[in-house]
Amino acid sequence: MQEIKLLEDAELKRLGLKGGHHYRIGDEIYPSSTTILSVLRKPAIEVWAVKTTVEYLGKRLDDVINGKIKLNAKNAYKILTEARQEHEKIKEKAASLGSDVHKIIELIFKSKMSILDLLNAIDSESYSSITAFLDWKSSYDIKALGNEEIVYHEKLKYAGTLDFRCKFNGEKYVVDFKTSKRVYPEMLLQLASYKYAYEHMHPEDTGYKVGILRLDKNNKGFEWKTWNEDVVSIAWNAFKYLVRYYHEVKLLDGNI
């Protein structure tokens, strides 16, 4: 078996570059798993974006009809610009909430604060997701093995941040936390990419199962989804095709 040389934490860095998230891995820059997955069309999100734009325009037209807004060239341009940006604003707000929830979960495992003090300190938007996480944590036998770990695959040249590794009822799991309304297929591809990147880095520590913990934002508790090895293998093969596609299109970009 080929020996994998692990880099020190100082050699791993998350970057916010134009065109998606990237990581500096030693002297190289790798795209994140989510950046690679962005090449996929997401019809449900496209439909939602159109619906959001139409709903925003409907509200502003009501304001015009009711005399709250005077319709002129300047206001029309402003309304159309805001309508075009509305779905991005909602996405950014959701992403910010997801990031906050991840940070709070990290605090739960690292902080000496009591759970009560922590709940009193968080904002109302995160509260539902965090209480859902605590319900999940107390419902099963869970032993943390690692969280918020940067993982990378030297051969396939991608990287990501693994949310959580744990022993779940005695079995090893790689877990991804989500605050979305449902679990989407590409989320399993993302999770498979983390599992295999971690196991590529640590050939002495393999055999992880995978699970997505969806933490509802609207007081509907948690959804815990797992998949068998065959399904995870299919997701991994699909992700590898996307990695190849991503890198080869990048090569084309430099030659066209």
pLDDT of residue 93: 77
3-state SS, residue 96: helix
Domain boundary assignment for the chain? 10-253
Could you tell me the mean pLDDT of each successive run of 10 residues in the chain, 256 residues long? Answer: 47 60 91 93 82 92 90 90 88 76 82 72 80 92 93 96 95 95 94 98 97 90 96 98 92 68
pLDDT of residue 213: 97
CA 94, CA 242: separation in Å to the nearest integer?
A: 25
pTM > 0.85: yes or no: no
pLDDT of residue 4: 46
Q: Who's near 32: CB < 8 A, 6+ residues apart?
A: 20, 21, 22, 23, 158, 159, 160, 161
Reduced to 3 DSSP states, what percent helix, strand and coil does the chain have, rounded to the nearest 5? 50, 25, 25
pLDDT of residue 118: 73
CA 186, CA 235: separation in Å to the nearest integer?
A: 8
Supply the CATH classification number for the domain 10-253. 3.40.1350.10
Q: Is the dihedral of CA 227, 229, 234, 238 positive or negative?
A: positive
pLDDT of residue 150: 95
pLDDT of residue 256: 55
CA 155, CA 238: separation in Å to the nearest integer?
A: 16
From 56, 62, 46, 47, select the one nearest 79 (Cα to Cα): 56
pLDDT of residue 90: 80
Six-digit token pair at 113? 């604060």
Alpha helix positions (H), 66-184: 73-110, 115-121, 124-139
